[in-house]
Amino acid sequence: MGTYIKNSHTDFPKIDTLQMIEVDRLMVDEYHIGLIQMMENAGRCLAILTKERFFNGDVEGKNIVVLAGTGGNGGGALVAARRLHNWGANVKVFVTAEAKKFTPIPLHQYKILRRMGGSIQLASEINGQKSPDAIIDGIIGYSLKGKPRGNAAAMIHWANGQKVPIIALDTPSGLDLTSGRRFGATIDAAATLTLAMPKKGLFVEGVKAVVGELYLGDIGVPIELYREKSLGLDPTNGFRYSDIVRLY
């Protein structure tokens, strides 16, 4: 799998969404590692996974559609879009809502991409889009609330109909990371890159069918943070050999 991606050599603790939200809180409030830093690492890992695993290390001239929601999941996908564009891919971004609906850090990513002249369209324009070589799913992450609705659901249906590899960020949109429950339309991923620590919902029986290959990306969470009282975890140095490790 090359230098960037290696098989896991260690067992990571499995956490739920509330623990992941606590990781994020500690990162920002106690360790002063900002969301923008985490998101850059998330998006870079996602772009590298896409390039190395699905394009043999070179995306030049490849058509890649990036689907982005308005939250942190979409923000990470927009970072990946920027990197893939820089590496020569023809990237088209489709968003679930206009810029003013984006939360601040994802909006920052959106503005960078727009300044670069990147193609950003609303979900309503996706139906005429011809099948790309791959799709990145950054529609919904750990903040999924119930059955996907509206533009998010429409993008999930469109993506599943293309029969090209879908690479999901954190979770296939529509899959709950704590319970593994699928509420309705769910992305049918070829690979999923979850972030920082494996989530329990990705190991529930039957979910492999939509998760595809499962990878874990390093977003720079200090080992000491996991040992804080509010988490009480004690992970080993699982990213010792690569930023991306394959879990199954």
Ligand X SMILES: NC(=O)C1=CN([C@@H]2O[C@H](COP(=O)(O)OP(=O)(O)OC[C@H]3O[C@@H](n4cnc5c(N)ncnc54)[C@H](O)[C@@H]3O)[C@@H](O)[C@H]2O)[C@H](O)CC1
Which residue carries 């939200």 as its tokens? 21
CA separation, residue 26 to residues 12, 66, 81, 177, 221 (Å): 19, 30, 28, 20, 10
Of 20 and 62, the one with the shorter C-beta distance to ligand X is 20
Of 27 and 193, the one with the shorter C-beta distance to K ion is 193
On whether 146 is known to bind a ligand per the annotation, the reply is: yes
On whether 232 is known to bind a ligand per the annotation, the reply is: no
* Site for K ion contains 24 (CB under 5 A): no
Figure out which of the listed residues 143, 222, 232, 248 binds ligand X, where binding follows CB under 6 A: 143
CA separation, residue 49 to residues 5, 158, 209 (Å): 8, 22, 19
Do the beta carbons of residue 52 and residue 236 sit within 8 Å?
Answer: no
- Please give the residue whose beta carbon sits closest to ligand X in the complex: 141
Do the beta carbons of residue 193 and residue 167 sit within 8 Å?
Answer: yes
Residue 173 binding: pick among K ion, ligand X, none (C-beta 5-8 Å cut-off by kind)? K ion
Residue 39 binding: pick among ligand X, K ion, none (C-beta 5-8 Å cut-off by kind)? ligand X
For residues 45 and 231, what is the distance between their CA atoms, to the nearest angstrom? Answer: 25
* Site for ligand X contains 5 (CB under 6 A): no
Of 3 and 227, the one with the shorter C-beta distance to ligand X is 227
Q: Helices 35-49 and 72-86 sit at what angle, rounded to 10 degrees? A: 50
Binding mask 50-79 for ligand X (x = CB under 6 A): -------------------xxxxxxxx---
Do the beta carbons of residue 15 and residue 200 sit within 8 Å?
Answer: yes
The neighbouring-strand residues paired with 94 are 67, 121
Instruction: Specify binding-site residues for (6S)-NADPHX.
Output: 72-76, 141-147, 170
Instruction: Specify binding-site residues for K(+).
Output: 73, 137, 173
> Which residues would be at the binding site for ligand X (CB under 6 A)?
20, 23-24, 35, 38-39, 42, 69-76, 103, 140-150, 152, 169-170, 195-196, 219
Instruction: Specify binding-site residues.
Output: 72-76, 137, 141-147, 170, 173
